Amino acid sequence: MPNAKDENDLAALHERLQAARRVLREAYDQRDALAEEIATAEKIGAGVDPKLLIAFSAAERAVLAAEAEMKDTEYARVVTQDLADDAGP
C-alpha cells in the first residue's frame, strides 16, 4: 500500500505522463500536417520548399523527443509503483 509520499510521487508522474501524451499528440499533428503539405506539393509537381523539409525534420525530431519523454515517464511510474508496493504499509 503506497504511503502519502508515494501517492504524491505517483500523482506527479501521472500528470507528467498526461503532459507527455499531449506533447506527443501535438508533435504528431504538426509532423503529419507538414507531411501532407510535402505530399501535396509533390503530387502537383511543384518543388518542395527546403524550409518545409527543414520544418518536417524538426517536427520529426520533436516526435522522437516526445516519445522518449513518454517512455521515460511510463518507466518511472512503473518503478515508483513497484517500489511503493514493495514498501508495504
Question: Measured between alpha carbons, how far apart are the two ends of the chain, in Å?
Answer: 5
Domain boundaries, the chain: 4-83
Q: What is the sign of the dihedral through the CA atoms of 10, 11, 16 and 19?
A: positive
pLDDT in the model for residue 10: 87
pLDDT of residue 74: 93
Residue 31 burial class via C-beta count within 10 angstroms: exposed 0-12, middle 13-18, buried 19 and up: buried
Count of beta carbons in the 10 Å neighbourhood of residue 59: 19
pLDDT, tens only, 16-44: 999 999 999 999 999 999 999 999 998 88
Is residue 88's pLDDT more than 90? no
In this predicted structure, what is the pLDDT of residue 30?
A: 97
pLDDT recorded at residue 26: 96
